[in-house]
Amino acid sequence: MGMDKFSANGEGKASEYLYPPEILKRLDFSNSPAIFKPKISATQPGEDWMVVRPLQRSDYDKGFLQLLGQLTSVGNVTRKQFDERFTQMKQSGGYYVTVIEDTRSSKIIGAATLTIEQKFIHNCSFRGRLEDVVVNDTYRGKQLGKLIVVTVSLLAQELGCYKMSLDCKDKLIKFYETLGYKMEPGNSNAMNMRFDDPS
């Protein structure tokens, strides 16, 4: 099951993605130190009812905000607010919210955000930040946390980031270490993954 199947919503209108979904097809999961058993990837997530894709404007109706509510306080975000923020993020660029959808129920069951900072250092390179990683509690055991983090990490590399950073709780350090992140010495729970210098 690929992403092609989901280029249109139920009414036949083209879905509006936050970023071009074709980028996800270019990710090479063999570049990640993460071990998947069985092997899965963004294009082959392991179940034919799952799809990994960019956030869509229509995900307001697919439980995206409710999923984020399992992670932190979201507030009472109206459709108008959601639409405005989606438009702002898309227009400004640098925001890559990636989701996993259960197409049987049309619900978002996993999500992670890559934000890209433009730098002068490292030959005017980019730095990625991993934010807002969440997987629906009822889908544990399907490697989805690992899948969404590796997808977004490889996405950062594909987009030319020299480094990917995150902040995490103590209990998650070992999890992120298995995915290639390392503790930043002297900086509490800041973890980084460095890529080859794109220059």
Which tens digits make up the pLDDT trace of 92-136? Answer: 999 999 999 999 999 999 999 999 999 999 999 999 999 999 999
Indicate whether 183 belongs to any domain. no
CA distance linking residue 52 with residue 41, whole number of Å? 9
Residue partners of 119: CB distance under 8 A and separation at least 6: 125, 126, 127
Please report the beta strands in the chain, taking only residues with DSSP state E, as ranges in sequence order: 50-54, 95-102, 107-118, 126-135, 161-167, 182-183, 190-194
| Averaged pLDDT, 70-74 | 94
What is the helix (H) or strand (E) element at residue 22, kind and residue range?
helix 22-25
What confidence category does residue 140 fall into, taking pLDDT thresholds of 50, 70 and 90? confident
Return the pLDDT at 25.
97
Indicate whether 173 belongs to any domain. no
Structural domain range at position 25 = 4-166
Indicate whether 176 belongs to any domain. no
Indicate whether 49 belongs to any domain. yes
Indicate whether 179 belongs to any domain. no
Q: What are phi and psi of 18, to 5 degrees?
A: -70, -35
List the one residue out of 173, 160, 45 whose CA is nearest residue 102. Answer: 45
Q: What are the residue ranges of helices labelled H in 26-168?
A: 64-68, 79-92, 121-124, 144-158
Count structural domains, the chain: 1
Indicate whether 174 belongs to any domain. no
Quick check: 75 and 96 in contact, CB under 8 A?
A: no
Indicate whether 196 belongs to any domain. no
Indicate whether 184 belongs to any domain. no
Give the CATH number, domain containing residue 117: 3.40.630.30
pTM here is 0.87
| Averaged pLDDT, 146-160 | 97
Residue type, 76: N
What confidence category does residue 4 fall into, taking pLDDT thresholds of 50, 70 and 90? very low
